[in-house]
Chains A and B, each alone.
Chain A
Amino acid sequence: TQLLEQSPQFLSIQEGENLTVYCNSSSVFSSLQWYRQEPGEGPVLLVTVVTGGEVKKLKRLTFQFGDARKDSSLHITAAQPGDTGLYLCAALSNDYKLSFGAGTTVTVRA
């Protein structure tokens, strides 16, 4: 059983459309991270959210941490082909182990 559940597993949209990816857990976290991974490369950190209810923006990407710090979402506005990739959420446990969700594969068609 995954500590972090991501949905959907796959998402294919047309350029210019919006999309939202979800990361849910029954556990409370002190922080949550979102990574993006492109084929043949390692994941790259996009953002860390720390405070319940926090919203962070990174250009067309909006990240939100749930009020109870158990869930998070990633929203992409006007998606572009360059947004294509695997999006992973991750959270640190009390013993400093980082757990990852299974990931959402996003494909943006031109």
Chain B
Amino acid sequence: NAGVTQTPKFQVLKTGQSMTLQCAQDMNHEYMSWYRQDPGMGLRLIHYSVGAGITDQGEVPNGYNVSRSTTEDFPLRLLSAAPSQTSVYFCASSTRLEPDTQYFGPGTRLTVL
């Protein structure tokens, strides 16, 4: 199993550009989540999904969209990038029975100029 994979590893955007961060898992996990990590603030939940076709907002959802058309994939879309979205983004997945045991991807480091 590859676990949780994320692409790209690094990305630089200009203010106003849009892009999609990809996340995929091959563990048949029902739950998937997106977090951003900023210095001194830990990980903050952006959006999460408890199954295909179901998504909900986390703590910091503004400026981001998600969809969950399949169990495996959970892309995160930045609609119009802003410098405040410069961060490291992590995707995670877990089973419905153990939602607190999350498996994280390697992260995407995003810089918005």
Contact = CB atoms under 8 A, between A and B. Distances in A.
A91 B41 CA distance: 15
Interface string A24-46: 00000001010000001111110
B33 interface: yes
Contacts of B100: 31, 33, 48, 90-92, 98
B45 A99 contact: yes
Interface residues on B, range: 20 to 34
A100 interface: yes
A7 to B, nearest CB: 13
A13 interface: no
A100 B58 CA distance: 12
B92 interface: yes
A102 interface: yes
B2 to A, nearest CB: 13
Interface residues of A, number: 24
A18 interface: no
A102 B102 contact: no
B42 A98 contact: no
Contacts of A88: 42-43
Interface string A57-74: 000000000000000000
Contacts of A100: 35, 42-44
B105 interface: yes
Contacts of B4: 42
A91 B40 CA distance: 18
A25 to B, nearest CB: 13
B90 interface: yes
Interface in B55-74: 58-59
A91 B42 CA distance: 13
Nearest to B38: A102
Interface of B: 4, 31, 33, 35, 40-45, 48, 50, 58-59, 90, 92, 99-107
6 contacts: A42-B90, A42-B105, A43-B102, A45-B102, A90-B100, A97-B45
